[in-house]
Amino acid sequence: MGRAVFSVPLWTWCESCCKRLFCLVLLVCFALVSGGCGKHESSQSDKEQGPVPVSAITVSPADVPVSFEFIAQVKSSQQVNIQARVSGFLDKRLYLEGSMVREGQKLFLMDRKPFKAQLDQYVAALARNQAALQVARLNLARVRPLAAATALSQKDLDDAVGQFESAAAAVEQAKAVVEQARLNLSYTVITSPVAGISSNAVQADGSYLSPASSLLTTVAVLTPVYVNFSVSENDWLRLHDEIAKGLLIEPKHKDYNAEVILSDGTVFPHTGKVTFANPSYDARTGTFLIRVTVDNPKGVLRPNQYVHVRLNGAVRRSAILVPQRAVQQTSRGHVVWVVEKDGKVQPRPVTVGQWHGNDWFIDEGLQRGDSVVVDGILKLRPGAPVKVTPLSAPDRPDRREGKN
């Protein structure tokens, strides 16, 4: 085989390589120049931008009054079932359903005629027994001296004494029957044992009332009323843990002042006190029952009504509060931006507690004197210089006492 012969002249090949090399050098130079210009422009932009304007607060621990808010339900302090005590026909209803009734007010009237006739019968039986007792008394009075003079035997005396005592017992029994008949007659007039709000009539006029159908209506006392709410086991344990650590100070004798908040947000004018805390844990709901007693003179609160109850009086000692918008949540937890002494910001992890109105309790991570950024957080990066504007008290959100 013969040798391969290049079809392109050598001088043409060298010229092509030189052109390619020249183009590559030009591209590298252009990239270096462009990069340098970009860096210069970026540096110039940062220099022109200057410190990031932010607003911040200075941490100042203080004793903060706190409250605890729960969903609650109103219950009557005394709800009475009005029931018929005797069997018979219901004559008429004497009250307006759903109205306020007085103690002793007549609510229902049963047919009295059978009970009146029965009473008259028992009164007559009592009179008959009383007459028999009088005969026995006179007979004994005659027999006793004759027996003493041995004109009559001892058996005659014993018989006379037995007849007298039997007649006396019959009289007492008849008196008891008469008294029961009078009670039954009085039970035909059914009154309210308490003052309160009445319910609907369960039985219609003319119905026959028996032990199986004796319920007529209910009357619920409206003042005072109970406001019941439940505390979960977790909240209960957390509360006791904070008290044990000295973070939370309860009012003296645990005398919390309870406010009732209606569904429209208004606060009920009368406050109450905690009067009962169930010592037993309810395994079905995982809660403990707490009861607040509240005066309700105008009957605004009604049984089974849902409200909110707020317990005031506790104090969180040396608490640190920051606005909620100053706290950011990351994959590693909560952080705040703190202005260091050199005027630059750094993110700092914190342990947050409960909400307090529009603020957040900080349990760990901050101390007195720290400057925490509140507004302008989105423009920050670690080590960025900032221009701080103090956030004055009027600019801060209202610290309404909410659920702790």
Convert the pLDDT of each residue in 292-335 to its tens digit.
999 999 999 999 999 999 999 999 999 999 999 999 999 889 99
Q: Where are the alpha helices (DSSP H) in 149-210?
A: 154-186
Mean pLDDT of 33-55: 58
Average pLDDT, the chain: 87
**Which superfamily is assigned to 112-187 in CATH?**
Helix hairpin bin (1.10.287.470)
Res 26 pLDDT > 60:
no
Radius of gyration of the chain (CA): 47
Q: Using 50, 70 and 90 to split pLDDT, how confident is the model at 49?
A: low
- The pLDDT tens digits for 205-251 are 999 999 999 999 999 999 999 999 999 999 999 889 889 988 899 99
Res 37 pLDDT > 50:
no
Mean pLDDT of 337-362: 91
Mean pLDDT of 91-119: 96
In sequence order, what are the beta bridge partners of 328?
Answer: 335
Token pair belonging to 164: 């007298």
- Residue 87 phi, psi dihedral angles, 5° rounding: -90, 140
Q: Which residues of the chain does CATH 2.40.30.170 include?
A: 67-76+222-316
Return the CATH fold of 52-63+319-395: 2.40.420
Q: In this predicted structure, what is the pLDDT of residue 151?
A: 86
Q: Measured between alpha carbons, how far is 323 from 282 in angstroms, rounded to an integer?
A: 37
In sequence order, what are the beta bridge partners of 126?
Answer: none
- Residue 217 phi, psi dihedral angles, 5° rounding: -170, -175
User: In Å, what is the CA distance from 139 to each residue of 161, 164, 174, 177?
Assistant: 9, 8, 22, 27
Residue 139 DSSP symbol: H
Q: In this predicted structure, what is the pLDDT of residue 351?
A: 92
Gap between the terminal Cα atoms of the chain: 98
- The pLDDT tens digits for 12-25 are 434 554 455 454 54
Q: Measured between alpha carbons, how far is 227 from 77 in angstroms, rounded to an integer?
A: 9
Going by DSSP bridges, is the β-strand pair 386-390/52-58 parallel, antiparallel, or unpaired? Answer: parallel
What residues contact residue 288 under an 8 Å CB cut-off, 6+ apart?
230, 231, 233, 236, 277, 278, 280, 281, 282
Q: Measured between alpha carbons, how far is 326 from 198 in angstroms, rounded to an integer?
A: 54
pTM value? 0.71
Q: Does domain 67-76+222-316 match CATH 2.40.30.170?
A: yes
- The pLDDT tens digits for 157-187 are 999 999 999 999 999 999 999 999 999 999 9
- The pLDDT tens digits for 256-299 are 999 999 999 999 999 999 999 998 988 888 899 999 999 999 99
Return the CATH fold of 87-110+190-220: OB fold (Dihydrolipoamide Acetyltransferase, E2P) (2.40.50)
Q: In this predicted structure, what is the pLDDT of residue 8?
A: 42
Q: Where are the alpha helices (DSSP H) in 50-112?
A: none
Q: In this predicted structure, what is the pLDDT of residue 27?
A: 52
What long-range pairs does 268-276 form, CB within 8 A, spacing at least 24? 268/294, 268/300, 268/301, 268/307, 270/294, 270/295, 270/296, 270/297, 272/224, 272/227, 274/311
Q: In this predicted structure, what is the pLDDT of residue 20?
A: 53
Closest CA to 372 of 63, 55, 61, 62: 55
Q: Decide: 313 and 257 in contact? Cβ < 8 Å.
A: yes
Q: Which residues of the chain does CATH 2.40.420.20 include?
A: 52-63+319-395
User: In Å, what is the CA distance from 311 to each residue of 68, 257, 277, 355?
Assistant: 5, 6, 14, 15
